[in-house]
Amino acid sequence: MIESALGKVYTFCSEKIPQFIKKNFDITYTKASKTVGCVFCLLGLLLVILCIDGFSALTNYKRWLLMAVDLILPFVLALCTIYTVRLKSEKVRKIAGFVNLMLMPVALMTITEALNNVFVFNMTALGFLGNYLVILMVYFIFFAITGSFKITYLFVNTVLVGLAMAHSYIIDFRGTPFQPMDFLSVTTAVGVANTYDYTPNYKVVTAVLLFVLLTVIVIKMKTPKYTLPTKIISRAFTGTFTTVVMVLFYFTSLFADMGVRPDFWNQTRGYHNYGFVLNFFTNTKYLYMHKPDDYDPDKIKDMIEKEEKEDESYTKDTPNIICIMNESLADLSVLGDFETNKEYMPFMNSLKENTIRGNLYVPVIGAGTSNTEFEFLTGHTTAFLPSGSNAYMLYVKDPTASLTSTLKAQKYSSFALHPYYASGWRRTKVYSNFGFDSFVSLENIIDISLMQQFQANGSDANYLQSLIDENYPNSNMLVRQYVSDEYNYELLIKDFEKRDKKFPYYAFNVTMQNHGGYTTQCDNFNQNIYVTSSENEYPKVNQYLSLVKKSDTAFKKLIEYFKKVQEPTVICMFGDHQPNVEPEFVSELLGVKSLSNLTVEQEQKRHITPFYIWANYDIKEKNIESISANYLSSLVLKTAGVKLTDYNEYLLKLRKTLPVINSVGYIDKQGSYYKWSDVSPYTELLSEYEQIQYNGIFDKENLKTETFFIDGYTHEATELEENETEEKQEE
């Protein structure tokens, strides 16, 4: 019996299967296809072998499994390249065309989710279905336009894989996902792109091999012949259907009410749980800023004046005010206790006399500097803006009330300093709309052609240092490839010393030394801080903490200088966001296995940076446990004893009830944490704040100038571009 069964199997395999293939398929190959297939196989194997270290981030089981798959893929790719398989039956080809359409989204999703670090079989049912339908809809759109599924597959697959590839690198570099709003900050991203490591990892290797394989399969597809009526009906149907769905999605709340919306509280978690394609496209709905419910500009004044103002106490002489937003400055011990070989913030931790200090809750992690900057300067919160949007790129397009306009109304001079490219986050335009008198950027500090040479020669930090040594000897300008905090403060002091003493001095400074990319090794930077309390190695953390130590030393020198200044001076210094270091370190400190499912309190911890308000004269010392960035400039004005706008007064009152309002949620005075999706007793209060903010940013026709400006003072945009040119010529 066994022999008979084996005989039947043998006959089936040796005769029936070949007969079936010969009857239904044409299988051909050429000498050129064999050559190309062999080349693809060799290149694929070489890619896997060269990037073998990229699999080290996985556990042993997953590492060996994925390596095995990636080593097999080049051979599969070679076979698909060498052989061309055609179905003989036109009817079957039409059925196969439909099957291809149904399976293609799964194939594409496999690639995009590999880059999202999620295996398709691990996706949630809603995530799988949502990504599948979005990809299918995109196919429908382009098929309605082109009439060709082959062209549609090639174009859509390339675009979506390209976006997913960008997402893969962006989330590795800054710790947050790629969103549609990031297209607006592409010039800023280009400016710092050379600081990161682009060595392909297991995600990239797997995705590239799968994408090339899928592309080869699509190119070799034989398009069935359809009648003209069939073509017209199919294109009309797909075009009409997708149009209806897009209208319902973008102009109604139907899909949002069904739960098809981003995870606004934790976009990283949303991308992980529900997939890249679905989250990226659902975020596009929120690019447009909607008017708040029940918005009425005539009620703004009543909202502002609902509570009595605090007693006014202005100093006779307006003090100099210097505000410094320090790039990526954070004390990571807010996440959890850890030990280092020596202190990394000794001076800042000791600063208490004539100092107000505490925890500042900011809207971003790892990147998005300018959103913290926007909150500080304007008193507005990005929590009321579309999730993932950037205020500088989207909304500061006209003269806007800010800390700068408040101080200029009181006869202050105004100076902005940022030792990197002026184009980053549109700062020149934004500072112009804020009314700054002058703006010094990297273009004014060095010959910018040196940066071009640096980037053209592989972005080697040591090479840039050699160029600086040659052109600016003994300047001690750089730490790694960025202007150091110490040199930055020297520029600030230089501007202070040449000020017009007829006017009180105001400066706003954004530093650059601690910017991300904590893998750069350079002779001008000695790493001397190491984590000693963990069994794991965290090279990024060690480099970052060593940079913080240099920031601490530089800030000490700045304070020591202003201690000797006779004029009363207030200095506010704060961090813009926590750095993007090893997520395993953050998880270890928080005591969690993954950063994808944090509690609201844990998530808020990741948004804490330190702040310091110091004066060279007597002020009341204070430690503030919690304050968000939108309140900080109002606190600076109050500490300095200068006049406040009605909006500043409103914010200081609001802070007493809700000391923290940011993109994560809010914290009340009792220390209770809320997400934006929570029902709370503060709904009406937050609604009023949102309406006041909308009036200040968007409703230019009905802007309540008496709320946002002092004594009717308004300003026009300044001509900072011309100032830059003049300063270059002077140099």
| Pair (400, 522) in one structural domain | yes
What pLDDT sits at residue 729? 29
Helices (H), 284-332: 300-304
| Pair (323, 275) in one structural domain | no
Tens digit of each residue's pLDDT (9 = 90 or more) over 144-155: 888 888 888 889
| Pair (324, 451) in one structural domain | yes
| Pair (514, 425) in one structural domain | yes
Report the phi/psi class of residue 175: left, alpha or beta, with left for phi > 0 and alpha for psi in -120 to 50: left
Contact (CB, 8 A) for 488 and 509: yes
The answer to whether residue 297 is domain-embedded is no
Tens digit of each residue's pLDDT (9 = 90 or more) over 323-333: 999 999 999 99
The answer to whether residue 317 is domain-embedded is yes
The answer to whether residue 8 is domain-embedded is no
Q: What's phi and psi for 359, nearest 5 deg? A: -100, 125
| Pair (594, 455) in one structural domain | yes
What pLDDT sits at residue 54? 72
Q: What is the mean pLDDT of residues 299-323?
A: 74
| Pair (260, 196) in one structural domain | yes
What pLDDT sits at residue 727? 36
Q: What's phi and psi for 665, nearest 5 deg? A: 165, -140
The answer to whether residue 53 is domain-embedded is no
Residue length of the chain? 731
What pLDDT sits at residue 722? 40
Contact (CB, 8 A) for 708 and 401: yes
| Pair (382, 259) in one structural domain | no
The answer to whether residue 74 is domain-embedded is no
Please give the torsion angle defined by the CA atoms of residues 331, 336, 338 and 343, in that order, rounded to the nearest 10 degrees. 20
Contact (CB, 8 A) for 198 and 92: no
Structural domain ending residue among the three candidates 229, 261, 287: 287
| Pair (206, 127) in one structural domain | yes
| Pair (274, 323) in one structural domain | no
CATH, residue 497: 3.40.720.10
The answer to whether residue 307 is domain-embedded is yes
Location of structure tokens 């919306």? 261
Domain count, the chain: 2
Q: What is the mean pLDDT of residues 364-369?
A: 88
Structural domain ending residue among the three candidates 287, 317, 338: 287
Structural domain ending residue among the three candidates 263, 287, 311: 287
| Pair (169, 221) in one structural domain | yes
Containing structural domain, residue 310: 303-730
Q: DSSP label at 340?
A: B
Tens digit of each residue's pLDDT (9 = 90 or more) over 613-665: 999 999 999 999 999 999 999 999 999 999 999 999 999 999 999 999 999 99
| Pair (108, 216) in one structural domain | yes
The answer to whether residue 13 is domain-embedded is no
The answer to whether residue 547 is domain-embedded is yes
- Average pLDDT over the chain reads 86
| Pair (283, 377) in one structural domain | no
Greater confidence (196 vs 200) lies with 200
